[in-house]
Amino acid sequence: MESYLLDWANLLLRWVHVITAIAWIGSSFYFVFLDSSLTPPEDDDLKKQGVSGELWAVHGGGFYHPVKFAVSPPKLPGHLHWFFWESYSTWISGFALFTVSYLYSASTYLIDKSRMDWAPSTAIGVALAFFVVFWLLYDAICRLFGQKKNGDAIVGALVFVLVCVASWLACHWFAGRAAFLLVGAMIATSMSANVFFWIIPGQRTVISQIKAGEPVDPIHGKRGKQRSVHNTYFTLPVLFAMLSNHYSFTWSHPQNWLVLILMMFAGAAIRQFFVMRHGYKLGRNANPLPYALVGVAAIVGVIVWMRPVPVAASAAPVAAVGVAANAPVSGASGVSAEGASGPNDYPAVQAVLAQRCYLCHGEQVQMKNLRLDSPGLVKQHAQAIYQQAVVQKLMPMNNATGITDAERALIGRWFEAGAPTGP
């Protein structure tokens, strides 16, 4: 029953998270586009009101005419829409999902004993520290260098280094799948913190100054805009990290930290292209195409670098041919899956993999670039095998090869014993 309820919690939280993320990212992308597409107002009345830019647009059968004031409007309207619940609800639902999916089952999903064999409470504490420490360091970088000459370039370079260090540490301390999610959640936390600690408080200060009839300090708008721009560059890297959990060939790679860094860099470069292209159309920016090409080149480079290399299996497939799909498996040692128990379970596990998994992850076919027909590869992907075949029971897909509950239990015992592949 507990597993059933957790599945429902995972599904519903993921649904809410995706919906709220769409709302947040959509509004963020729109306002970045709007800022890049504004043109000086032509109407004298708009100029007198302090309007610095306007845009005419058509959508859904209607015409729209948004305008932007240089610092503040001459008079506050009766109704003012705020954009912050999209951010807060995305973070709250995302953190709840991370808690249900990873922190609650830290021993299964967060900890990889071959990397760091620590207690669940320690792993959870370190994972949460990533959120706090990254935000504090990122915020300090923005405070120290954000207003200096060439501050944007300095901040960008230092934050990139910070992300690289965090990615390396996460991938060396946690299970690969969890590490990718952790880095994405870490950056997303800073995005929402930008809204909570800087953008919204700055806007509230401006409104208070207008209501009090005081001069409006433009620094609040500049700081809010700076953090908002940072958020838009974070978006595509975060989305890659979040989606990667469906593609084990990325986070199970021996250099998974480098895969993560390169793909996030590609996302940021491609986002820069989209940020600049609207201004380029108006003659404000240089041609942004090189940024897109750099991003695409990085992705192509990763694809080429990670291409599957033929690996000779250390042993011929056991019981892979001529055995009924629902027949119990016997390993090379003659121990059946039902009876195997002890430190030398690997021969029986190998037999199960040969009959149930080689069809899609063997010498002839490597679905998702994953092979399981040698001890080294089985050891490398042990946690993914355990998660997919034992915990979630997602593999084999639709149980096409008829793996039995006893065989899943065998794999579970083998993994919990340290996933040995030797004698």
- Tokens 């007198």 belong to 48
Q: Which residues contact 409 (CB under 8 A, 6 or more apart)?
A: 390
Query: CA 43, CA 66: separation in Å to the nearest integer?
Result: 13
pLDDT of amino acid 120: 93
Crossing angle, helix 256-281 and helix 289-305, to 10 degrees? 160
Answer for the pair 139, 131: CB distance below 8 angstroms, yes or no: no
Structure tokens at 158: 């230092």
| Closest C-alpha among 150, 152, 179 to residue 166 | 179
- H runs (alpha helix) in 212-332: 219-243, 248-251, 256-281, 289-305
pLDDT of amino acid 399: 76
What is the enclosing helix (H) or strand (E) of 363? Answer: none
Per-residue pLDDT of the chain (423 residues; tens, 9 = 90+): 677 888 888 889 999 999 999 999 999 999 999 998 999 999 999 998 999 999 999 999 999 999 999 888 988 888 999 999 999 999 999 999 999 989 988 988 898 888 898 999 999 999 999 999 999 999 999 999 988 888 899 999 999 999 999 999 999 999 888 999 999 999 999 999 999 999 999 999 999 999 888 899 999 988 999 999 999 999 999 999 999 988 888 988 889 999 999 999 999 999 999 999 888 877 788 899 999 999 999 999 999 998 876 645 444 444 443 344 455 554 434 445 554 445 567 888 888 998 899 888 887 777 767 788 888 888 888 888 888 888 777 788 767 788 898 998 899 888 888 888 876
The CA distances from residue 269 to 257, 280, 421, in Å, are: 18, 16, 42
CA end-to-end span of the chain: 38
Query: CA 39, CA 198: separation in Å to the nearest integer?
Result: 27
Ramachandran region of residue 362, left (φ > 0), alpha (ψ -120 to 50) or beta? Answer: beta
**Cβ-count burial 104-138 (b if 16+ within 10 Å, e if not):** bbbebbbbbeeeeebeeeebbebbbebbeebbebb
